Protein backbone atom coordinates (compact mmCIF):
# COMPACT_ATOMS: atom_id res chain seq x y z
CA UNK A 1 0.00 0.00 0.00
CA UNK A 2 2.84 2.35 0.92
CA UNK A 3 4.53 1.69 -2.42
CA UNK A 4 1.28 2.48 -4.20
CA UNK A 5 1.10 5.93 -2.58
CA UNK A 6 4.75 6.57 -3.35
CA UNK A 7 4.22 5.58 -6.97
CA UNK A 8 1.16 7.84 -7.25
CA UNK A 9 3.07 10.70 -5.63
CA UNK A 10 6.02 10.20 -7.96
CA UNK A 11 3.76 10.14 -11.01
CA UNK A 12 1.98 13.26 -9.82
CA UNK A 13 5.28 15.13 -9.49
CA UNK A 14 6.40 13.96 -12.94
CA UNK A 15 3.09 15.06 -14.43
CA UNK A 16 3.34 18.49 -12.84
CA UNK A 17 6.93 18.91 -14.03
CA UNK A 18 5.91 17.92 -17.54
CA UNK A 19 3.37 20.76 -17.57
CA UNK A 20 5.63 23.29 -15.85
CA UNK A 21 6.33 26.19 -18.10
CA UNK A 22 8.84 28.99 -17.96
CA UNK A 23 6.61 31.15 -20.13
CA UNK A 24 6.45 34.74 -19.01
CA UNK A 25 3.16 36.61 -18.95
CA UNK A 26 2.34 40.07 -20.17
CA UNK A 27 0.43 42.07 -17.56
CA UNK A 28 -1.35 44.97 -19.21
CA UNK A 29 -1.82 48.10 -17.13
CA UNK A 30 -4.58 50.69 -17.26
CA UNK A 31 -3.37 54.12 -18.37
CA UNK A 32 -3.74 55.71 -14.92
CA UNK A 33 -1.54 53.07 -13.28
CA UNK A 34 0.84 52.24 -16.11
CA UNK A 35 1.85 55.69 -17.30
CA UNK A 36 2.89 56.88 -13.84
CA UNK A 37 4.55 53.50 -13.15
CA UNK A 38 6.66 53.87 -16.31
CA UNK A 39 7.86 57.27 -15.12
CA UNK A 40 8.54 56.05 -11.58
CA UNK A 41 10.40 52.92 -12.74
CA UNK A 42 12.09 54.80 -15.59
CA UNK A 43 10.82 52.28 -18.11
CA UNK A 44 9.33 52.95 -21.52
CA UNK A 45 5.54 53.21 -21.57
CA UNK A 46 4.28 50.97 -24.39
CA UNK A 47 0.72 52.15 -25.12
CA UNK A 48 -1.27 49.73 -27.27
CA UNK A 49 -4.12 51.84 -28.67
CA UNK A 50 -6.92 49.61 -29.88
CA UNK A 51 -10.69 49.24 -30.22
CA UNK A 52 -12.95 46.27 -29.64
CA UNK A 53 -13.99 46.15 -33.32
CA UNK A 54 -10.44 46.31 -34.78
CA UNK A 55 -9.47 43.06 -36.49
CA UNK A 56 -5.80 44.03 -36.88
CA UNK A 57 -5.68 44.85 -33.14
CA UNK A 58 -6.90 41.33 -32.34
CA UNK A 59 -4.38 39.87 -34.79
CA UNK A 60 -1.55 41.79 -33.13
CA UNK A 61 -2.69 40.53 -29.71
CA UNK A 62 -2.76 36.95 -30.97
CA UNK A 63 0.25 36.91 -33.31
CA UNK A 64 2.64 39.45 -31.80
CA UNK A 65 1.96 40.20 -28.15
CA UNK A 66 1.47 36.50 -27.38
CA UNK A 67 5.00 35.54 -28.52
CA UNK A 68 7.50 34.77 -25.75
CA UNK A 69 10.26 36.74 -27.49
CA UNK A 70 8.06 39.87 -27.43
CA UNK A 71 6.80 39.30 -23.88
CA UNK A 72 10.37 38.97 -22.56
CA UNK A 73 11.49 42.18 -24.25
CA UNK A 74 8.47 44.09 -22.98
CA UNK A 75 8.83 42.80 -19.43
CA UNK A 76 12.49 43.83 -19.35
CA UNK A 77 12.29 47.44 -20.55
CA UNK A 78 8.66 48.48 -20.88
CA UNK A 79 5.43 49.00 -18.97
CA UNK A 80 2.63 47.70 -21.24
CA UNK A 81 -0.56 49.78 -21.26
CA UNK A 82 -3.80 48.92 -23.07
CA UNK A 83 -5.74 52.00 -24.13
CA UNK A 84 -9.12 51.96 -25.86
CA UNK A 85 -10.08 55.59 -26.53
CA UNK A 86 -13.69 54.55 -27.24
CA UNK A 87 -14.27 53.42 -23.67
CA UNK A 88 -15.63 55.81 -21.10
CA UNK A 89 -13.49 56.92 -18.24
CA UNK A 90 -10.95 59.48 -17.24
CA UNK A 91 -7.27 59.38 -18.04
CA UNK A 92 -4.87 61.38 -15.91
CA UNK A 93 -1.68 63.03 -17.15
CA UNK A 94 -0.04 65.15 -14.47
CA UNK A 95 -2.71 67.54 -13.21
CA UNK A 96 -4.92 67.16 -16.30
CA UNK A 97 -7.79 64.71 -16.78
CA UNK A 98 -8.80 63.64 -20.29
CA UNK A 99 -11.51 61.49 -21.82
CA UNK A 100 -10.33 58.76 -24.19
CA UNK A 101 -10.70 60.65 -27.45
CA UNK A 102 -9.01 63.76 -26.08
CA UNK A 103 -6.09 61.72 -24.74
CA UNK A 104 -5.71 60.03 -28.14
CA UNK A 105 -5.65 63.45 -29.82
CA UNK A 106 -2.99 64.62 -27.34
CA UNK A 107 -0.85 61.50 -27.78
CA UNK A 108 -1.00 61.71 -31.57
CA UNK A 109 -0.73 65.52 -31.66
CA UNK A 110 -3.96 65.56 -33.62
CA UNK A 111 -2.63 63.10 -36.21
CA UNK A 112 -4.49 59.94 -35.31
CA UNK A 113 -3.66 57.12 -37.69
CA UNK A 114 -6.22 54.42 -36.99
CA UNK A 115 -5.92 51.19 -35.09
CA UNK A 116 -3.83 49.58 -33.88
CA UNK A 117 -1.39 52.36 -33.08
CA UNK A 118 1.40 51.84 -30.60
CA UNK A 119 2.77 54.81 -28.71
CA UNK A 120 6.01 54.73 -26.79
CA UNK A 121 6.88 57.28 -24.11
CA UNK A 122 10.56 57.38 -23.20
CA UNK A 123 10.76 59.05 -19.78
CA UNK A 124 14.53 59.72 -19.85
CA UNK A 125 14.15 61.70 -23.07
CA UNK A 126 10.60 62.92 -22.29
CA UNK A 127 9.59 61.95 -25.85
CA UNK A 128 6.57 60.23 -27.36
CA UNK A 129 6.79 58.11 -30.52
CA UNK A 130 3.84 56.87 -32.59
CA UNK A 131 3.89 53.70 -34.74
CA UNK A 132 0.66 53.03 -36.64
CA UNK A 133 -0.54 49.69 -37.88
CA UNK A 134 -0.07 46.01 -37.33
CA UNK A 135 3.47 44.70 -36.79
CA UNK A 136 4.45 41.04 -36.76
CA UNK A 137 6.83 39.49 -34.23
CA UNK A 138 9.97 40.27 -36.24
CA UNK A 139 9.06 43.88 -36.99
CA UNK A 140 7.85 44.61 -33.48
CA UNK A 141 10.82 42.87 -31.85
CA UNK A 142 13.25 44.99 -33.87
CA UNK A 143 11.36 48.14 -32.89
CA UNK A 144 11.40 47.17 -29.19
CA UNK A 145 15.15 46.52 -29.37
CA UNK A 146 15.82 49.90 -30.99
CA UNK A 147 13.68 51.83 -28.50
CA UNK A 148 15.30 50.06 -25.54
CA UNK A 149 18.73 50.86 -26.98
CA UNK A 150 17.85 54.56 -27.34
CA UNK A 151 16.28 54.71 -23.89
CA UNK A 152 19.12 52.91 -22.12
CA UNK A 153 21.96 54.74 -23.89
CA UNK A 154 24.09 56.98 -21.75
CA UNK A 155 23.27 60.64 -22.33
CA UNK A 156 25.79 62.42 -24.49
CA UNK A 157 27.24 65.86 -23.78
CA UNK A 158 26.37 68.39 -26.44
Rounded to whole angstroms, the Cα distance separating 113 from 94 reads: 25
| Chain segment 4-51, per-residue pLDDT in tens | 544 454 444 444 444 445 689 999 999 999 999 999 999 999 999 999
Maximum separation of any 2 CA atoms in the chain, in Å? 78
Residue-wise pLDDT for 109-150, tens only, equals 988 789 999 999 999 999 999 999 999 999 999 999 999 999
SS3 74: helix
What domains, with CATH codes, occur in the chain? Answer: 24-151 (3.40.30.10)
**How many H helices and E strands in the chain?**
6, 6
- C-alpha distance from residue 27 to each of 30, 67, 90, 122 (Å): 10, 14, 21, 19
Query: How far is the CA of 87 from the CAs of 23, 30, 42, 113, 124, in angstroms?
Result: 31, 12, 28, 18, 30
Amino acid sequence: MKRGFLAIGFLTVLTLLAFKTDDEKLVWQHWNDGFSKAKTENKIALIDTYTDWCGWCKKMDKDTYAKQSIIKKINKNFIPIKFNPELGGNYIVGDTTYDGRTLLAALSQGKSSGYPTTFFFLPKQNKMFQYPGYMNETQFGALLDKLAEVHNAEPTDN
